[in-house]
């Protein structure tokens, strides 16, 4: 992935979303060839020269100071997550084609132990591109009960949670507000792509989804950034019906290793009852005890 290109695309997309009246600029009724602000207008709002901003937007300058980037962020009306993303794109070092790629995340004994400790709570471990590395029984039952529970064990068959949201009818039907879930997924994926521009698996996933899903392509082109590690979702599960869960994503402070996605419900709520019912319904059943052979009928 080309970080310079990401910076240029991000700036152009966000500039195109601002209208002159949004920032108090008068247009005096003139016809405009662009839907949003012009480059020189954005540069004026940020207090920098128009040629310098144009070089930034074309990805030709990578020496912008923190103060300049903050001024651009204010002019673009970026939120905190978008501001951090802008700084990341503008300051990420250039990488050659031979630059080392990040190590793939793997399931470790610690990962397995944590999933086991979460027995009763739906949980799964995913890598940075959203591939499911492992899940516990309840995690499989809640998020992907229609898939083979052993699929994460084979790299070629691992479900990808991002792809499921856009390409899998079961997952689409699972979320009552699918649009909100999809926007969150894409916004988080943008942040991850900015942090790992050299990750080939991420680039492949983004390319595949852009081709196969018009909705993903439109959301990706919008360049919205969503840093969402905790969110409430109403789910319509085919086995236990409608329930509201809080999905939390936990990552190590270093940002390495798998991330854990867990789903909980408010204590003593109908949703908590639904999760308990799901756990009970998917609990392994002990095989029926063998019938004891009473021997042949006695003769007198």
Per residue in 174-187, pLDDT (tens digit) is: 999 999 999 999 99
The reported pLDDT for the residue numbered 225 is 80
The reported pLDDT for the residue numbered 294 is 44
Both 116 and 206 in one domain: the answer is: yes
Both 56 and 114 in one domain: the answer is: no
Both 228 and 151 in one domain: the answer is: yes
Both 80 and 122 in one domain: the answer is: no
The reported pLDDT for the residue numbered 1 is 46
Both 69 and 141 in one domain: the answer is: no
If pLDDT is split at 50, 70 and 90, which confidence band does 297 have?
very low
Q: Decide if 160 is inside a domain.
A: yes
Both 128 and 256 in one domain: the answer is: yes
Q: Which domain holds residue 167?
A: 109-281
pTM score above 0.85: no
The reported pLDDT for the residue numbered 92 is 66
Both 126 and 241 in one domain: the answer is: yes
Q: Stretch 184-199: mean pLDDT, rounded?
A: 88
Q: In the predicted model, what is the mean pLDDT of the chain?
A: 84
Q: Decide if 208 is inside a domain.
A: yes
The reported pLDDT for the residue numbered 27 is 66
Question: Which residues lie closer than 8 Å to 285 by C-beta, 6 or more apart?
Answer: none
The reported pLDDT for the residue numbered 300 is 40
Per residue in 122-171, pLDDT (tens digit) is: 999 999 999 999 999 999 999 999 999 999 999 999 999 999 999 999 99
Q: Decide if 101 is inside a domain.
A: no
Both 147 and 248 in one domain: the answer is: yes
Question: Which residues lie closer than 8 Å to 81 by C-beta, 6 or more apart?
Answer: 187, 191, 225, 226, 227
CATH for 113: 3.30.450.180
Q: Decide if 288 is inside a domain.
A: no
Question: Which residues lie closer than 8 Å to 138 by C-beta, 6 or more apart?
Answer: 119, 120, 121, 122, 123, 275, 278, 279, 282
Per this entry, what is the length of the chain? 300
How many structural domains does the chain have?
2
How far is C-alpha 100 from the chain's CA centre?
24
Per residue in 91-112, pLDDT (tens digit) is: 765 554 444 556 677 888 888 8
């Amino acid at each position: 992935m080309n970080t310079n290109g990401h910076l240029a695309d991000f700036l152009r997309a966000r500039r195109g979303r601002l209208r002159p009246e949004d920032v108090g600029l008068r247009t005096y009724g003139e016809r405009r060839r662009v839907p949003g602000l012009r480059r020189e207008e954005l540069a004026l709002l940020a207090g920098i020269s128009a040629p310098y901003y144009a070089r930034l937007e074309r990805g030709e300058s990578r020496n912008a100071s923190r103060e300049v980037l903050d001024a651009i962020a204010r002019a673009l009306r970026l939120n905190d997550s978008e501001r951090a993303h802008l700084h990341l794109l503008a300051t990420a070092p250039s990488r050659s084609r031979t630059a080392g790629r990040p190590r793939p995340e793997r399931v470790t004994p610690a990962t397995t132990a944590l999933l086991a400790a979460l027995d009763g709570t739906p949980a799964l471990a995913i890598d940075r591109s959203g591939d499911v590395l492992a899940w516990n029984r309840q995690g499989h039952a809640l998020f992907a009960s229609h898939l083979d529970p052993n699929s994460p064990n084979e790299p070629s068959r691992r479900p990808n949670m991002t792809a499921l949201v856009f390409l899998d009818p079961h997952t689409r039907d699972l979320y009552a507000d699918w649009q909100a879930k999809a926007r969150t997924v894409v916004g988080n994926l943008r942040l991850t792509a900015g942090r790992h521009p050299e990750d080939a698996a991420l680039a492949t996933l983004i390319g595949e989804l852009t081709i196969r899903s018009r909705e993903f392509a439109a959301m990706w082109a919008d360049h919205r950034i969503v840093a969402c590690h905790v969110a409430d979702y109403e789910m319509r599960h085919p086995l236990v019906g409608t329930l509201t869960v809080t999905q939390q994503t936990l990552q190590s402070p270093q940002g390495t290793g798998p991330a854990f996605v867990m789903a909980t419900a408010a204590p003593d709520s109908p949703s908590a009852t639904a999760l308990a019912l799901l756990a009970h319904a998917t609990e392994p059943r002990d095989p029926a005890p063998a019938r004891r052979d009473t021997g042949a009928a006695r003769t007198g």
